[in-house]
Structure 1
Amino acid sequence: MAKDFYGDLRLGILGGGQLGRMLIQEAINYNVNIHVLDPDPNAPCKKLCNQFEVGSLSDYDTVYNFGKDLDMITIEIEKVNVDALEALEEEGVIVYPQSRVIRLIQDKGLQKQFFKQNDIPTSAFQFVSNREGLGNCHIQLPYIQKMRKDGYDGKGVKKISTAADFEHAFDEPSIVEELVNFEKEIAVIVARNDRGEMSTFPMVEMEFNPQANLVEFLIAPSTYSFDIQSKAESIAKKIANDLQIVGLLAVEMFLTADGDILVNELAPRPHNSGHQTIEGNYTSQFGQHLRAIFNLPLGNTESRSNAIMINLLGEDGYEGLARYEGLEEALAMDGVYVHLYGKKYTKPFRKMGHVTIVNPDRSLAIENARKIQSLIKVIA
């Protein structure tokens, strides 16, 4: 790269939410010049970057004009105009993750085909073009229906239990997936730089909010056997290598009762399953993403302590200017780190922040996390 990453390099981030905010907090240490594009004039990144632009991430001209004078572009959300990114790449702007990777991951159907073509273990699946196609599926009920595009944070996913559910199913191109009887949802984040060097963060275990289908509680590192963790990390590395991605890749997986691992979905960016790395690991996922896209040596991903991450979601029944209950009491406890995302307004199940609880005693870390979960409430 002609420009030094620690001086005059202009880095654009598509998306100004909490992931961009935490990426900027890390990038400040490298003195990088940060430009952000987001449709929300009050986005969490607004006051932290060198230049903030309000505009659509899906509009070709907006994305192209935002990026044409930058040296490098990265993303914090996949729903961006890939055609504009391809044009920018052709003109010499570095885009990491690459536009072809973003295009594949934008479409869960293409993801599934990629898994099948590359012998990556995943659940059985079938494509349908609308809800009428559900009646002709060879996948047995009950099953999961996922919209191929535009699903995120639990949206765009439905469980179809009986034929009576067809009426309320998605009426657009979807994947029908076999319902996996899993023991635990797990994730591995892998980083890969342009030299092909790869490094994984230790496998984490996740618990989901049943109403919002969002990660609510995350435990790191995992206590599953070395064989299971090694297998999960090997799968993540294989996917990153097959994609030839530059940057971070979060690989969400199911662990079955038989010890099989099935890949669920991919995210080519910092991810909710890596927030605990800020306090819990020698290198955070945000620091590692920057190292990867700047083609620097990858950092040490070892855990420094047991770390539990809790998402702070907007309470059901509250919508409006956000208020936080229980923060003082939570911060009086040892090993508690609060991250508020700077979102002005709350609504039910909106991600408003996260808390990481670290403790050398794993059971005590989990116990304290459960206390925090009941203490802090995001209301209006």
Structure 2
Amino acid sequence: MAKQISDLKLGILGGGQLGRMLIQEAINYNLTTLVLDPDTDAPCKHLANYFECGSITDFDTVYNFGKKADIITIEIEKVNIEALEQLEKEGKQVFPQSRVIRLIQDKGVQKQFFKENNIPTAPFKLVNTREDIFNCGFAFPYILKQRKDGYDGKGVMKISDVADIDHAFDAPCLIEELIDFEKEVAVIVTRNSKGEMKTFPMVEMEFNAEANLVEFLISPSTYPASLQQRAEKIAMDIAASLNITGILAVEMFVTKNGELLVNELAPRPHNSGHHSIEGNYVSQFAQHLRAIFNLPLGDTRAINNAVMINLLGEKNHDGVAKYQGLEKIMAIDGVYIHLYGKKYTKPFRKMGHVTVVDQNRDGAIEKANYIKNTLKVIS
């Protein structure tokens, strides 16, 4: 007799806020959760049934942790792939599959995958050293990205002239044409082992220019239905080409002439889906669990207009976190607060998010702007 979902142990590599929100959803299924994270004060520590402090990039640590679980998933891509491959060989279920994580760990391999599968993306070139950048043949300005280990705006820089190259990364990198885009958007697609797929409605993102992090996320998009359908098809085509099991966030640029160009992928719950907890019939976290346990996928439709605001640590504040203005925003209707349980703040660290749900889109945006100016994470 096949085991029920509540009889299975879910191992999560990474114990940050994504793992925390995944566990909060897993509790509804009576799932046993096991978490591995290097931080002794990780946000998941007190929520998981079992918490282990250890490296998620060390073969032995990941392998021995994985043996304790029935299904293994990730909340961050920087994990030991060789250990996951060995666990798969021994019959453990790893979702997303280790081959998918390996591909997405390297932005250069990601871009080559787009090219080979006719996925629209910005023109690019791969280089191995800083010296190679001088002869890349790209017109200034362009974007330089480290192929590995970049996240949340780190490992990315704009190269405007030859002088900038002197300060460029001296490592394998991806050079990308600078796209004069109108808006960055995202579609989250989920696929289970049966091949069933569903997409969440496309969302629009607004960035903090200084930190290069998403500041606002607005759902649903007001772009024409034809463009949204194209974006959803691109996301599904990628998920099908990868043969992925689990959730996949697809970030795209909308160009000034209405083209869609894929920027990057994330094979896990993603910042661009946090609004779905209150704003959609099924959340991205519930959908990911449904996919990796090969259950029917949920209804992804938006219930209402939703705006998500990332709570970032304030500049010049480094220490034990304090939340200034919390009571003021709690007095507003339709406001949902998510604090991530991180003891210490530092400039631009993701400390939580707030979602505003409102029948009126402009009203939701107005509330979001008030929250941005009122709620501060200080030390």
In the superposition, the TM-score normalised over structure 2's length comes to: 0.99
CA distance in 1, matches of 2:309, 2:68: 38
Aligned equivalent of 2:289: 290
Which amino acid in structure 2 is aligned with residue 221 of structure 1?
P
* Aligned partner letter, 1:194: S
* Match of residue 129 from structure 2: 130
Instruction: Structure 2: state its 5+ residue gaps.
Output: none
User: In 2, Cα distance between the equivalents of 1:87 and 1:35?
Assistant: 19
Q: Shift of residue 69 of structure 1? A: 2.5
- Distance of 1:87 and 1:30 partners within structure 2: 28
Distance 2:174 2:239 in 1: 23
> How far does residue 110 in structure 1 lie from its aligned partner after superposition?
0.4
State the Cα distance separating 1:264 from its structure 2 match.
0.2
Letter in 2 for 1:357: V
Equivalent in the alignment of 1:201: 200
C-alpha distance in structure 1 between counterparts of 2:32 and 2:366, whole Å: 41
1:317 alignment counterpart: 316
Is residue 337 from structure 1 mapped to residue 336 from structure 2 by the alignment? yes
1:44 alignment partner AA: P
Amino acid at match of 1:25: Q
- Aligned match of 2:174: 175
Per the alignment, residue 116 of structure 1 pairs with 115
- Cα displacement (A) at 1:8: 1.6
Q: In 1, Cα distance between the equivalents of 2:192 and 2:235?
A: 15
Take 1:156 and 1:217, find their aligned partners in 2: how far apart are those partners? 22
Look up the match of 2:278: 279
| Distance (whole Å) between structure 1 residues aligned to residue 72 and residue 366 of structure 2 | 41
Match of 2:140 in 1: 141
Show the counterpart of 1:377. 376
Q: Which amino acid aligns with 2:3?
A: K
Paired residues in the alignment total: 379
Q: What's 1:3 paired with?
A: 3
Structure 2 Cα separation of the partners of residues 288 and 70 of structure 1: 20
Structure 1 residue 39 and structure 2 residue 38: aligned?
A: yes
TM score, norm. by length of structure 1: 0.99
Deviation at 1:68, TM superposition (A): 1.1
Q: What per-residue deviation string (whole Å, max 9, x for no partner) do you get for residues 76-133 of structure 1?
A: 0000000000000011110000000000000000000000000000000001111111
Q: CA RMSD in A?
A: 0.7
SS at match of 2:223: coil
**In percent, how many aligned pairs have the same letter?**
69
Give the match for residue 242 of structure 2: 243
1:233 positional shift? 0.3
Equivalents in 1 of 2:137, 2:165: separation in Å? 15
TM-superposed deviation, 1:139 = 1.8
Moved over 3 A (4+): none
Q: SS at 1:374's partner residue? A: helix
Partner of 2:87: 88
| Aligned position for 2:150 | 151
Report what 2:78 is aligned to.
79
- Residue-by-residue CA offset, 1:342-375 (whole Å, 9 max, x unaligned): 0000000000000000100000000010000001
Counterpart for residue 223 of structure 2: 224
Spell out, residue by residue over 1:294-351, the C-alpha distance to the aligned partner (whole angstroms, 9 max, x if none). 1000000000000000000000000000000000000000000000000000000000
Residue 253 of structure 1 is matched in structure 2 by 252
CA drift at 1:3: 2.2
Please, which runs of 5 or more residues in structure 1 have no aligned partner? none
Distance 1:8 1:295 in 2: 14
